[in-house]
A and B are shown apart, each in its own frame.
Chain A
Amino acid sequence: MVENRPFLTFLTHAFLILGFAVVALPVYVAIIASTHDIATLMSGPVPLWPGSHLIENYSMILTSASAANGLPNYSHMALNSLIMAVVITIGKISISILSAFAIVYFRFPFRQLAFWIIFVTLMLPVEVRIMPTYKIVADLGMLNSWAGLTIPLIASATATFLFRQFFMTIPDEMLEAARVDGAGPMKFFRDILLPLSRTNIGALCVILFIYGWVQYLWPLLVTTDPGYYTLMMGMKRMVTVQDGVIQWQLVMAGSVLAMLPPILIVIFMQRLFIRGLTETEK
């Protein structure tokens, strides 16, 4: 819009601020709640101003609190989540970029069929195929293991599709020039495709890391050993205590901490891929 009408400006900003408030208020409440003690939180509505128990709550959650509920340490669960998210991210990107490379640049029988099979699985989210997947993982004896946590989630049709679309925009002459320059297929992949895909990889890292980080249902199914609990499961368990009071201030502190890694990766990666966008040209 290039129109210069004060009322319109006011209206658009009003909507912007409203939208922002809707998104930001729950986060704000969580942060505020994590600074009060349990008595304040139980005695009525959540206050809107910060309390004085911030350091106490956070040090509690990071040291001993979760152990009290029969859960592993908070940092232990965070580490589990981190390992799971990182393995899934790296796995998804390397597998999908290689399969897209195969589909776009090699002529082999049933190439189109292979692509369509991958493409069709786009329509089936984890939840739909979770029972057969569980059965397979259970039969392979991968319950309660890192393999069981990550391998079933490690292939990504979406990422394969995105890389395929990107590879198809690279002019054929690039491949031909590389062939004339004496680069074999893997050399072409490493020296030309990978650097050119940098921005796509950056963007996918953000999306896939968050995807891995917030996995709840799958870890819940395949792990019964608390040693493999991830943060999302742990947070849930903290709320479902049988007897006694739910430690809301600790739950909130834990939630706020759990939000940090995705935020950090968005901030860090965004800088990377904006730089990538301004520096390269296809």
Chain B
Amino acid sequence: MAGIKIAGVSKVYAGGVKAVNSVSIDIADGEFIVLVGPSGCGKSTLLRMVAGLEAISDGEVSIGGRVVNRMEPAERDIAMVFQNYALYPHMTVYQNLAYGLKNRGTPKAEIDARVAEAARMLEITQYLERKPRALSGGQRQRVAMGRAIVRKPAAFLFDEPLSNLDAKLRVSMRGEIKRLQRRLGTTSIYVTHDQLEAMTLADRLVVLNGGRIEQIGSPLEVYHAPASTFVASFIGSPAMNLVSGELHGNRLAIGPAVIELGAEAPASGPVTVGIRAEDLHPAREGEAVLPFAVDYVEELGAQRLVHGQVGDQMLTVALSPEIAIGEQLSLAIDPARLHFFAVDGGKRIGKGSVPAGVAAPVVQPV
């Protein structure tokens, strides 16, 4: 059990390409951190630097208080789960699980006990004598996790472990990873490009873009108070609507519509306005109205996504299926739920907050 400290870590490749740019993250003992970002944002490179599979160009990584910059992966007391599982195809499941322990000189009896325990935990006991090729994708994934668990490392590193699975299995394995991590209480870093996976798994999210940290925060903080237009458009599905508007005093103009903010605006002049699709609702009596021309509707069952335009700007609205939809809708929004970003650079203006009534879930360790 140990925390991980990443301090000012950079990765510069030959040719001067900076894949990771001075990233610092403090990870507490037992915390589940998810690195999320589009492909090429440096999230895997960062993970591989923590693992010791990639040399650290600048900065310092310490695991459990030990600086590990110059240590081999095996000496860092970490275990890694790979995207393509990387099981040894010629070894049985048992041998796959035992290999790392054997290399460490663990006594045979203890190897047996630990493998049996991990196998029981992952429900793969009946497959121990099989070769990986005789297993399904989900079972291989479990074996890969088992290989990490038996070592009882200071930290688990997951490199997009679920992206080779089908959608249904991904959801159930996601739950299982979360449950296991809670139960074992092992510090974990998990890399994914899937924002849903990131939201559901993380204690804290780290959103990366172009090798830099855009935002660090709990899933709800990141969702309700994105630090930039990049985070706003990346986290949440459907993506947050980003339209251009103008602030004057306590008024906001979006195309033809004007919204009274009720309080002094945090800035003045042109801004990018962020609106969550589910924050918009049909206007009631006396509310400021956004005239909305419907283009087409996507049915999701529980809700429907209505795509259309306000003025000449595209907007997506999530509405309950009970609401009848004509060609025109009058929408309204609680001004407190509007997000403002600088037109230049896309940084958030004014601080956001997790709205009252949305409490962080209290999770008891199992």
Residues of B in contact, count (CB < 8 Å) = 25
CA distance A196 to B104 in the complex (A): 22
In the complex, chain B residues 83-103 whose Cβ is within 8 Å of any chain A Cβ: 83-84, 86-90, 99-100, 103
A179 contacts B72, C-beta separation under 8 Å: yes
Q: Whose C-beta in chain B lies nearest to the C-beta of A192? A: B88
A183 contacts B86, C-beta separation under 8 Å: no
In the complex, chain A residues 182-203 whose Cβ is within 8 Å of any chain B Cβ: 182-183, 187, 191-192, 195-196, 198
CA distance A191 to B88 in the complex (A): 9
Residues of A within 8 A of B352 (CB): none
Q: Which of the segments A77-85, A139-147, A150-158, A169-177 contacts the partner chain?
A: A169-177
B80 contacts A182, C-beta separation under 8 Å: no
A179 contacts B73, C-beta separation under 8 Å: yes
Residues of B within 8 A of A192 (CB): 88, 90
When the two chains form the complex, which single residue of B78, B90, B100, B104 contacts A280, counting CB atoms closer than 8 Å?
Answer: B90
When the two chains form the complex, which single residue of A178, A180, A181, A196 contacts B90, counting CB atoms closer than 8 Å?
Answer: A196
A177 contacts B74, C-beta separation under 8 Å: no
Q: A173-B83, A176-B82, A191-B99 are in contact. Are A181 and B89 (CB under 8 A)?
A: no
Judge if B133 is at the interface, Cβ distance under 8 Å: yes
A281 contacts B103, C-beta separation under 8 Å: no
Judge if A135 is at the interface, Cβ distance under 8 Å: no
Q: Whose C-beta in chain A lies nearest to the C-beta of B53? A: A176
Judge if B51 is at the interface, Cβ distance under 8 Å: yes
Q: A180-B79, A191-B99, A281-B89 are in contact. Are A171 and B84 (CB under 8 A)?
A: yes
Expressed in whole angstroms, the minimum distance between the Cβ of A166 and any Cβ of chain B is: 13
CA distance A192 to B51 in the complex (A): 21
Expressed in whole angstroms, the minimum distance between the Cβ of A229 and any Cβ of chain B is: 42
Most A CB within 10 A of own CB, among B51, B90, B133, B147:
B90
Q: Which 3 A-B pairs have the closest CB atoms?
A: A182-B74, A181-B100, A173-B86
Given contact pairs A176-B86, A179-B73, A198-B90, enumerate 15 new A-B contacts (beta carbons under 8 Å).
Answer: A171-B86, A173-B83, A176-B80, A176-B82, A177-B86, A178-B99, A180-B74, A181-B99, A182-B104, A183-B74, A183-B103, A196-B89, A281-B89, A281-B132, A282-B89
B interface residues (Cβ-Cβ under 8 A, vs A)? 51-53, 72-74, 78-80, 82-84, 86-90, 99-100, 103-104, 131-133, 147
